[in-house]
Chain A
Amino acid sequence: MLVIKDLQASIEDKQILKGINLTVKPGEVHAIMGPNGSGKSTLSAVLTGNPAYTVTGGSVEFYGKDLLALSPEDRAHEGVFLSFQYPVEIPGVSMVNFMRTAMNEKRKYFGQEPLSAADFLKIMREKRSIVQLDNKLASRAVNEGFSGGEKKRNEIFQMAMLEPKLSILDETDSGLDIDALRIVASGVNTLKSKDNATIVITHYQRLLDYIKPDFVHVLYKGRIVMSAGPELALELEEKGYDWIKEQVDSQQ
């Protein structure tokens, strides 16, 4: 579904991604790991079209479409979802209103009629249970006054509502206690199917105990420097990143 070729990107004239190659197929879970500052979050931002970043080379195809030519909202409609590392608060905008707008925009994109209020609330109820999101939270303003764990659960709730084809979880485990981590991971696993794929961006192995990856990639200095099966994550947990850094730096 996703074919990334030689992707390069910069922010404020600073080159961050220096040639990423990655192919993701339906049903797969890819973990992207790496030390701080290696470009993990930049990759998620570029794939979703964050205007703060400039693509300076390479291509991204999503189901045969040139993803980089699409606006951020059209990428979302096509089925790319980002669970933000730092979900944003939008004061005064209720989750209900926000989600209903998002879903109806997607339906409009595909030429469908907007959902009725009753149908929408029914879907919302069903999906809330996946991440055990309290009804009170759902009726509050978007992320306003949510705890760190609530914000992350709210991200997965939105993912459940929008049913993306490709979900990118950007450091979803950061700031979560073990219970919240379990709830979030079980939500992700519930939503997993043979037709959708997940990219899990994480610094630690911990999340991968709950969300089993098929592939583990190490990102360092803007490139994927190593790819292997799930065993690589365990190795990194044990040995850290220094041995990879040394290996890469000596080759340069």
Chain B
Amino acid sequence: MKESEKPEKGNQIIEEAAQAEYKYGFVTDIETEVIPKGLDEDVVRRISALKGEPEWLLEFRLKAYRHWLTLKAPTWGHVHVPEIDYQAISYYAAPRQKAANDKKEIDPELKKTFDKLGIPLEEQLRLSGMAVDAVMDSVSVKTTYRERLAELGVIFCSISEAVKDYPDLVRKYLGKVVPYTDNFYAALNSAVFSDGSFVYIPKGVRCPMELSTYFRINAAQTGQFERTLIVADDDAYVSYLEGCTAPMRDENQLHAAIVEIVVEDRAEVKYSTVQNWYPGDKDGKGGIYNLVTKRGLCRGDHSKLSWTQVETGSAITWKYPSCVLKGDHSVGEFYSVALTNNWQEADTGTKMIHLGKHSTSTIVSKGISAGHSQNSYRGMVKIAPKATGCRNFTQCDSLLLSDTSGAHTFPVIEVGNDTSVVEHEATTSKINEDQIFYCNQRGISTEDAVGLIVNGYAKEVMAKLPMEFAVEAQKLLSVSLEGAVG
């Protein structure tokens, strides 16, 4: 804060929201195979053919496409998705790798790109125990540690490879948690999905390293439609991380993904996301439309699924990672930090559908709104009549950093029996000037103070992230707020 500026009475935080620094806005100069813009059955067939898919999968795509044609984009979210011209998007873009035939030799340009993103693709360079599937535009360019994981029976590969190598497994689970009829964007994804990750953890195996997929959009005027499928068989455990970035562009790009998770008896899946798609500039120009369907089925008794998300990117976010708690004593968790700045809009939350007896769920949502952004929590807790003895605890907090931003909550609670207990707590607060001055007086600048306070506010959720991610996510929260304080 400049001494000469007389601060306004009341909330003096944020007036001029300057451009927050986006470190990942570069474009990789690589020859990319892009199919012509537009969408029809031929395009769907072409994508399937390019990937050399079996007939059943093409049929799945075509059914999804035909169903999509009957649907309209949903308008109930507290976001303003403009009319998208689906004929102006290219649905398949693949960086042409120079050594395309040998997956072990990765193209130097691609390697450089992922190095720049902090995702080294050479196994020997990675000190931490994390395996990575790197996806650029429509294709997976490299999956590390595949062989080592295979020794334990763990399958970790791109979904395209899984279709070829493990067709029965993919066919058994694909579209079972999120059917193509689920919603408009799910139908679209089912018709044109390109790459994504496939994970299968066999019975009784505790996956010894974190698995992670890094999604990168590079090509212009394309959409990314990835699809991830994770199956944890009885007594299995896996922690999975997802990261994403895109170049800075004036145009809006569409990202419509599906994540499906199946958790069997006593198995546990932790799914963590640090979403940092390009959010657009300070005037709201450009940025990714992140319209995503994520759902997990806790099919087994005593199964557990935990979603943790740190959402700082995208011009528009529309996602509700959910848990269908079918197994008795199954556990669903949702921990979320959603930060919006400038003109970003986020409508995010979760659904906890309790079908199994004594199933429990926890929801902790922390929204942070700065600039002119709109930040909404939308959640549903539904307890079926036969699901007796269930518990849900929901805590839903909003922190406002500006007078021009909005925080909204849309909770729905349906309890079908009288032996279940549902708790809902909600708070809305403004960042406190006394806190900022206290930090200033100790020598901490206003920007750093806001970073500290916001990270303190989000701590409960950040603590759920795996260690390496937590540090990155903390930095990301501070960086996303740069310029958010006047």
Report chain A residues within 8 Å CB of B2. 71
Subset of 30 A-B contacts with CB under 8 Å: A12-B9, A51-B1, A51-B12, A52-B7, A52-B437, A68-B3, A69-B3, A71-B445, A73-B441, A73-B446, A76-B440, A76-B442, A84-B438, A88-B432, A89-B435, A90-B435, A90-B438, A90-B456, A92-B460, A93-B456, A97-B452, A98-B439, A98-B442, A98-B444, A101-B444, A101-B448, A101-B452, A102-B442, A102-B444, A162-B442
One of A52, A73, A93 near B443 (C-beta < 8 A): A73
Minimum CB–CB distance from B14 to chain A (whole Å) comes to 14
A93 with B440, Cβ < 8 A, contacts A70-B3, A71-B3, A88-B434 known: no
Minimum CB–CB distance from A41 to chain B (whole Å) comes to 13
For residue B6, CB closer than 8 A to chain A, the reply is yes
* Cβ B442 vs Cβ A158 within 8 A: yes
Alpha-carbon gap, A101 to B358, bound state (A): 45
One of B7, B432, B435, B444 near A51 (C-beta < 8 A): B7
For residue B20, CB closer than 8 A to chain A, the reply is no
Alpha-carbon gap, A84 to B452, bound state (A): 20
Report chain A residues within 8 Å CB of B442. 76, 98-99, 102, 158, 162
For residue A50, CB closer than 8 A to chain B, the reply is yes
For residue B455, CB closer than 8 A to chain A, the reply is yes
A82 with B441, Cβ < 8 A, contacts A51-B12, A52-B433 known: yes
Report chain B residues within 8 Å CB of A89. 435
* Cβ A92 vs Cβ B448 within 8 A: no
Minimum CB–CB distance from B9 to chain A (whole Å) comes to 7
Residue of A nearest to B445 (CB): A73
* Cβ B452 vs Cβ A90 within 8 A: yes
Minimum CB–CB distance from B21 to chain A (whole Å) comes to 19
Alpha-carbon gap, A69 to B4, bound state (A): 8
Q: How does the 8 Å CB contact mask read for A122-153 relative to B, with 1 for contact and 0 for none?
A: 00000000000000000001000000000000
- How many residues on A have C-beta within 8 angstroms of the other chain's C-beta atoms? 36
What is the size category of the interface that chain B forms with chain A? 20 to 34
Residue of A nearest to B437 (CB): A50
For residue B26, CB closer than 8 A to chain A, the reply is no
Alpha-carbon gap, A71 to B434, bound state (A): 16
Alpha-carbon gap, A28 to B452, bound state (A): 35
One of B9, B432, B437, B443 near A105 (C-beta < 8 A): B443
Per CB-CB distance, the 10 closest pairs between chain A and chain B, nearest first, are A92-B456, A93-B456, A72-B440, A76-B443, A92-B459, A102-B442, A88-B438, A51-B7, A105-B443, A88-B434
Minimum CB–CB distance from B300 to chain A (whole Å) comes to 35
For residue A87, CB closer than 8 A to chain B, the reply is yes
Q: Which chain B residues in 406-442 approach chain A with CB under 8 Å? A: 432-435, 437-442
Alpha-carbon gap, A68 to B3, bound state (A): 8
Q: Which chain A residues in 49-86 approach chain B with CB under 8 Å? A: 49-52, 54, 68-73, 76-77, 81-82, 84
For residue A48, CB closer than 8 A to chain B, the reply is yes
Report chain B residues within 8 Å CB of A90. 435, 438-439, 452-453, 456
Report chain A residues within 8 Å CB of B12. 51
One of B435, B439, B443 near A162 (C-beta < 8 A): B443
Q: How does the 8 Å CB contact mask read for B185-199 relative to A, with 1 for contact and 0 for none?
A: 000000000000000
* Cβ A93 vs Cβ B452 within 8 A: yes
Residue of B nearest to A89 (CB): B435
Report chain B residues within 8 Å CB of A68. 3
Given A51-B1, A90-B456, A97-B452, 10 other A-B residues pairs in contact with their CB atoms under 8 A: A49-B440, A51-B7, A68-B3, A71-B1, A73-B445, A73-B446, A76-B442, A90-B452, A92-B457, A92-B458
For residue A91, CB closer than 8 A to chain B, the reply is yes
Minimum CB–CB distance from A101 to chain B (whole Å) comes to 6
Minimum CB–CB distance from A26 to chain B (whole Å) comes to 21
Report chain B residues within 8 Å CB of A12. 9
A105 with B457, Cβ < 8 A, contacts A48-B441, A71-B3, A76-B443 known: no
Q: Which chain B residues in 10-26 approach chain A with CB under 8 Å? A: 12
Report chain B residues within 8 Å CB of A105. 443-445, 448
Alpha-carbon gap, A81 to B264, bound state (A): 58
Report chain B residues within 8 Å CB of A50. 437
* Cβ B452 vs Cβ A106 within 8 A: no
* Cβ B453 vs Cβ A72 within 8 A: no
Minimum CB–CB distance from B442 to chain A (whole Å) comes to 4
Report chain A residues within 8 Å CB of B458. 92
Report chain B residues within 8 Å CB of A98. 439, 442, 444, 452
Alpha-carbon gap, A49 to B459, bound state (A): 30
Report chain A residues within 8 Å CB of B444. 73, 98, 101-102, 105
Residue of B nearest to A84 (CB): B438
Report chain B residues within 8 Å CB of A91. 456-457
Report chain A residues within 8 Å CB of B443. 73, 76-77, 102, 105-106, 109, 162
Report chain B residues within 8 Å CB of A77. 443
Minimum CB–CB distance from A61 to chain B (whole Å) comes to 16
Residue of B nearest to A78 (CB): B443
* Cβ B1 vs Cβ A93 within 8 A: no
Alpha-carbon gap, A247 to B150, bound state (A): 91
Alpha-carbon gap, A54 to B5, bound state (A): 10
Alpha-carbon gap, A89 to B435, bound state (A): 7
Report chain B residues within 8 Å CB of A54. 6
